């Protein structure tokens, strides 16, 4: 399961629950027994960081972009839909600069327009978390009103589709998704990871290594700078190009 799927599986109650991952987020160790140990050490903290970010965004959701949903059309994948929206209504937080829809944007699709976050949990209210997965890059207003989204489950019934009338922008998680993808690389699929692995143990000698690169399926991780090779304090974000 990738980070986007984990986020889409959450409810609003999950997002505002600061104890959702209690006991799962542990301090990052000073040394690691293997590359897998190193990469997996960041999984839970990254998930919690994403939840915390969306929780903060949720507090301002009434001030962010929202729009009426004009249509939701299914695709060949049951969890993916084409969504058409009306003109975006920008709240106070976006009064000076319009938001540009992009991949990784998370929305709440709702059957009603709430006055407060608590209204999403009122009896009879239907809502889904959705994430933008495909939007054209043309400088065109129409691109901002027609794009592809993904939900956690098949909305399925036509009556459920008709209930969803509004889309509320929550936040963007694309950077954390890139980090998650880097953490999920399979070291057995590329021999370059065998060069990085010795760097994770502070007792091992790293010699005169100055830059180590890793690549996977045509996508490249940035070279590891010299200062990151000292000891075991390797910073994850510096692996991302």
Q: What is the mean pLDDT of each run of 10 residues along the chain (241 residues)?
A: 93 94 84 80 92 94 89 88 86 63 94 88 88 79 80 72 90 95 69 59 45 41 40 41 40
Domain that holds residue 76: 1-173
3-state class (DSSP) for residue 3: helix
Do the domain assignments include residue 178? no
Which pLDDT score, from 0 to 100, does residue 49 have? 95
Do the domain assignments include residue 4? yes
Which pLDDT score, from 0 to 100, does residue 140 have? 62
Which pLDDT score, from 0 to 100, does residue 236 have? 43
* Residue 54 and residue 14 share a domain: yes
Do the domain assignments include residue 132? yes
- Check if the beta carbon of residue 4 is closer than 8 Å to that of residue 150: yes
Burial tier of 20 (Cβ tally within 10 Å: 0-12, 13-18, 19+): middle
Helix axes 174-183, 43-58, angle to 10 degrees: 170
Which pLDDT score, from 0 to 100, does residue 200 have? 60
Which pLDDT score, from 0 to 100, does residue 213 have? 39
231 CB-near residues (< 8 Å, 6+ apart): 202
* Residue 92 and residue 136 share a domain: yes
* Residue 189 and residue 168 share a domain: no
Instruction: Concatenate the DSSP letters of all residues of 83-113 into one string.
Output: EEE-PPBP-GGGSSSPPPP-TTEEEEEESS-
Distances (CA, A) of 177 to 5, 128, 143, 229, 240: 10, 20, 23, 25, 11
* Residue 207 and residue 113 share a domain: no
- The enclosing H or E element of 150 equals strand 146-151
3-state class (DSSP) for residue 214: strand
3-state class (DSSP) for residue 35: helix
Burial tier of 60 (Cβ tally within 10 Å: 0-12, 13-18, 19+): middle
Of the residues 146, 173, 200, which one is the last residue of a structural domain? 173
pTM of the model: 0.75
Give the total number of structural domains in the chain. Answer: 2
Do the domain assignments include residue 166? yes
């Amino acid at each position: 399961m990738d980070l986007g799927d984990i986020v889409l599986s959450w409810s609003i109650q999950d997002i505002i629950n600061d104890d959702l991952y209690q006991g799962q987020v542990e301090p990052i160790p000073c040394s690691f027994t293997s590359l897998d140990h190193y990469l997996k050490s960041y999984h839970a903290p990254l998930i919690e960081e994403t939840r915390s970010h969306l929780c903060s965004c949720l507090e301002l959701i009434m001030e962010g972009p929202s729009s009426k949903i004009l249509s939701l059309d299914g695709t060949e994948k049951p969890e993916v839909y084409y969504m058409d929206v009306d003109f975006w209504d920008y709240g106070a937080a976006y009064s000076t600069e319009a938001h540009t829809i992009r991949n990784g944007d998370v929305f709440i699709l709702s059957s009603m327009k709430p006055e407060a976050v608590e209204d999403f949990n009122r009896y009879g209210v239907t809502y889904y978390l959705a994430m933008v997965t495909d939007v054209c890059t043309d400088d065109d207003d129409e691109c901002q009103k027609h794009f592809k989204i993904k939900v956690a489950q098949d909305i399925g019934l036509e009556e459920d589709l008709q209930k969803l009338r509004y889309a509320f922008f929550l936040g963007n998680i694309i950077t954390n998704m890139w980090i998650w993808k880097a953490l999920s690389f399979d070291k057995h699929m590329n021999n370059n990871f065998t060069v990085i692995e010795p760097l994770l143990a502070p007792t091992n000698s790293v010699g005169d290594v100055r830059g180590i690169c890793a690549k996977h399926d045509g996508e490249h991780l940035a070279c590891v700078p010299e200062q990151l090779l000292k000891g075991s304090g390797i910073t994850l974000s510096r692996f991302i190009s």
